[in-house]
Chains A and B, each alone.
Chain A
Amino acid sequence: MTHAADVPLWAAVPVAFLLLIGAGLALAGSIGLVTLRSFYDRMHAPTLGTTLGIGSILVASMLYFSILQTRFVLHEILIAAFMVVTTPVTLMLLARAALYRDEREGNPDAPPRRPTPVQD
């Protein structure tokens, strides 16, 4: 941790704050994953960490390396864009699969399917 002394205080405080926010949100999402009751409730909890949690850690990393190397280090945007695109896709696929499995088995915990529109 010798290089951390090169970072000025006005940059160290927001980096530390963003790191704690991101890690705390990830922990909150994972605790929700353990404690919530049904699968369809649990599906919502980890999105806390996959959106704002990893976002704030990426902003902290960008800020820290930009200050440390005295130039813009912005390649963390790659991970941010990738997570923003892929998280809804994967969770939608997983929810569809879970709904399909529950309907196949006649599981009473499954949420009711939206009524199909009347064909005219």
Chain B
Amino acid sequence: MYAVILGCGRTGLNLAKELLEQGHEITIIEKDRTRSDQANELLGQISVVGDGCQQHLLASVGLKRADVFIALSRTDEDNLISCQLAKHVFAVPKTIALINNPINEDLFRILGVDVRISSTSLILQHIEEELSASVVHMQALGSSARELVSITIPPDASAVGKRLVDISMPAESLVSLIVTKEGNTRFPDELFEIQPNDQALVVTTPERELDVRRVLTGVD
């Protein structure tokens, strides 16, 4: 496979290294001469200095025969326009772009960039997954050492689709209220079936809290 990469930052360099090791042919286009030289020192003569939005430069690296174009520069304009040129002028079958500002994701999608990678969105998604499996403390209940916590059920939790009667809740713990994804409030009886993204309000004790989380979300 022949891959042309725009941008020789850390991501571009590591990707090039990886692809070279897998036996692919690589060219990196980089605006900055120092960076380009570094890549050539490290990986052999694979980098050319230039502006990836200029058609003559893209032509000179043989973009016409490339199987994939990967735009990893730090500016969204360069990534979008170079991918469009790769697609519409050089008929590259697959274009991949890094999106620096996540708000631009829709634009890249509408304009036909095949694969879009947004680092901010990726990190956010991981954080949200992490958070969605966490226990949010709502209220300590009187002096009884009971507390009210909120747990959002992740879509992949083992509890999804199960009736409450089939879930063995830890002692001193009770699912007392469910707020569905749509915002409907339910008093769950034994036959209530847990759905993805349900918010469960649970009365429990600080000692049982993690057991409750494990039972409802599958996260230890």
Partners in one complex: no
A-to-B contact residues, CB < 8 Å: none
